A and B are shown apart, each in its own frame.
Chain A
Amino acid sequence: MRIVKIIAIILLVAFVGIQFIPTTRNQSDTVPETDFMLVNNVPENIQNKLQVSCYDCHSNNTQYPWYNKIQPVAWFLEDHIKEGKAELNFSKWDSLSNRRKASKLRSIVKQIEAGEMPLDSYTLIHKEAAFSEEEAKEVINFMTQLKDNL
C-alpha cells in the first residue's frame, strides 16, 4: 500500500513537473507569399477543406485545441506538426521547384485516395476534418489538375 502511494506521488510530481517545460508553438500572424492558397487559384470550398483538414499540421499556422496547454499532449502535437511540416508545408509551397511540387501533389492525391490522410488520430477529435467521398473527389481532381498544368 505504501508503495502504491509513493508511486502515485512520484507520478503526480512528474506530471506537475513536465508542465513547466516549454514547447514551441507553430503559429504565425502573417501568411507568407509562398502559401499554397495565394499562388494557386484555389476554389473556396477546397480552400476551406484544406484549411480544416490539412493546415494544422502542414502549414506554419496551427489552430491549437485547448488541451494543447497540457503536457504531455503538447509534446505529442509538437512532434506531429514537426513531422507533418517536414513532409509537406503548404506555407512554403511556392519555394518548391516544379519537380518537387509534382512529387508532393502526387503524394497528396495518393494519401487521400488511400484514406491515410488526414490521420485517424486527428479526425477522431476533429470530426469535420474527415473527407466525405465527394470532398475527396473534389480535392483529388483539383490537385491532379494542378500537377498536370505544372
Chain B
Amino acid sequence: MSIAAVLLLAVSFTNAQEKKKMNHDHEDMKMDHSKMTTMKSDAKTETILSDYFNLKNALVADDTKKAAQAGSKLVVSLKAFDTDSYSKENQEELEDIIEDAVEHAEHISESAIDHQREHFKTLSKDITDLVAITGTKNTLYQQFCPMYDKGSAWLSTSKEVKNPYYGSRMLKCGKVQKTIQ
C-alpha cells in the first residue's frame, strides 16, 4: 500500500516538472514571435536610448524603484534590437554589446541603488559603443565624473551636468567630455 503511494507521488512530481518545462518552452516560442515583428532599426536605437535616459534620470533622482523599472524596460528594448541591416563585423560587435548591456540592465532591475550605479557605469560604456555604430538622430553629451570609481562616464541629452552616480549627494560633479552628433 505505502509503496504504491510512494510511486504515485514520484510520478506526480515528475509530471509536474515536465509541465513546468513545457510552459517554459512555450514562453520561449512567444518571445521569438515578438522578435519577428520588426520595425525600423534606428527606431529601436532611439527606444534603447530613451530607456537608458529614463534610467539615468532615475539615478540622478536617487529613485531606486524607477531605476529598476527603467532597467526592466531597457532589457526588453535591447533584446528587440535588430542587427540585420549592419555589416557582419558590426553585427558581431553589436551582439556582444547587447549581450553585455542586457546583463547589466537585468542586474539594475533587481538591485539596490549602489549596485545599480555600479552596473550603470559599464552599461554606459556599452550604450556609448552601441551609438558609435548605430548613430542617433539627437545630439548627445558624454559626461564624466572623475570621482566615482576612478572616473566614470555617462550619456545625457542635455549639456547641463546632473550626476547619476551620486545623485543629490553631488549632483553637479562632472563635466562634458564629448559631444556626440
Contact = CB atoms under 8 A, between A and B. Distances in A.
A113 B100 CA distance: 22
Contacts of A16: 6
B28 to A, nearest CB: 15
29 contacts: A13-B6, A16-B6, A17-B5, A17-B6, A17-B7, A17-B9, A17-B10, A18-B10, A18-B13, A20-B6, A20-B10, A21-B10, A21-B13, A21-B14, A21-B17, A97-B96, A99-B96, A99-B100, A99-B126, A100-B96, A100-B99, A100-B100, A102-B122, A103-B100, A103-B103, A103-B104, A103-B122, A106-B118, A110-B118
A14 interface: yes
Contacts of A17: 5-7, 9-10, 13
A14 B2 CA distance: 11
A14 B97 CA distance: 47
6 nearest A-B pairs in the assembled complex, by CB-CB distance: A17-B9, A20-B10, A17-B6, A97-B96, A17-B10, A99-B100
A102 to B, nearest CB: 8
Given A18-B10, A103-B122, 18 more contacts: A13-B2, A13-B9, A14-B9, A16-B6, A17-B9, A17-B10, A17-B13, A20-B6, A20-B10, A21-B10, A21-B13, A21-B14, A21-B17, A99-B100, A100-B99, A100-B100, A102-B122, A110-B118
A21 B9 CA distance: 10
Contacts of A18: 9-10, 13
A17 B4 CA distance: 10
Nearest to B95: A97
Interface residues of A, number: 14
Contact of B122 (A20, A21, A97, A106): A106
A104 to B, nearest CB: 9
A38 to B, nearest CB: 23
Interface of A: 13-14, 16-18, 20-21, 97, 99-100, 102-103, 106, 110
A18 B5 CA distance: 12
A21 B10 CA distance: 7
Task: Give the one of A17, A18, A110 with max B CB within 10 A.
Answer: A17
Interface in B136-171: none
Contacts of B103: 103
Contacts of B126: 99
B41 to A, nearest CB: 21
A96 to B, nearest CB: 9
Interface string B89-120: 00000001101100110000000000000100
Of listed A21, A97, A99, residue having the most chain B CB within 10 A: A99
Contacts of A13: 2, 5-6, 9
A99 B6 contact: no
A16 B8 CA distance: 12
Contacts of B6: 13, 16-17, 20
A78 to B, nearest CB: 12
Nearest to A10: B5
